[in-house]
Amino acid sequence: MAVDSIITFCAKYLVVAVVLIWIFAWIKANRRYKFEIALSTAGAVIVAAVIDKIAGKLYYDPRPFVSHHLTPLVSHAADNGFPSEHTLFSVTLAVSLGFYRPKLGALAFLIALIIGTARVAAHVHSPIDIVGAAIIGAIAGWVGYFMTRLYINQRKPQTKSS
């Protein structure tokens, strides 16, 4: 069925579009922003990965295809669905990018929401997995940005006042 194919594509492969948007923005950035975007995103991804592992240990949400005896559109292990890592990664990149290129960040965020919706429609995640991932990704993006701003501000030469 055509709808299932679209859901499957979005659930599995649309994350590549978010990565490509991030790469496009990075390539188009000037030298200063290239460094900041890369540092901010790297920090955000690390924070997201740490929170992801902690959240997965603190909260268990069986995947819908297991708990509701459904056939998933995307093959997946019957493990903890919380949080959705596809959505988490996409939102983290989108929020990180949004500080430097707001329109591209908004586009990437919209795509991240489509990814999350498709993963629910594919029966591999429940809505709480997507909401949790979006919250964690947004927090990680903010933390990565603010850690970068602190680092950049500390590296600036201090002027002496008499």
Residues 75, 66: Cα–Cα separation, whole Å: 12
pLDDT of residue 157: 73
Q: Extract the tokens encoding 116.
A: 């999350």
Residues 134, 143: Cα–Cα separation, whole Å: 14
What band does 159 get if pLDDT is binned at 50, 70 and 90? low
Q: Render pLDDT for 48-83 as a digit per residue (tens, 0 to 9).
A: 999 999 999 999 999 988 887 788 788 788 889 899
Q: Name the residue ranges covered by the structural domains of the chain.
A: 2-155
Partners of 80 in the β-ladder? 62
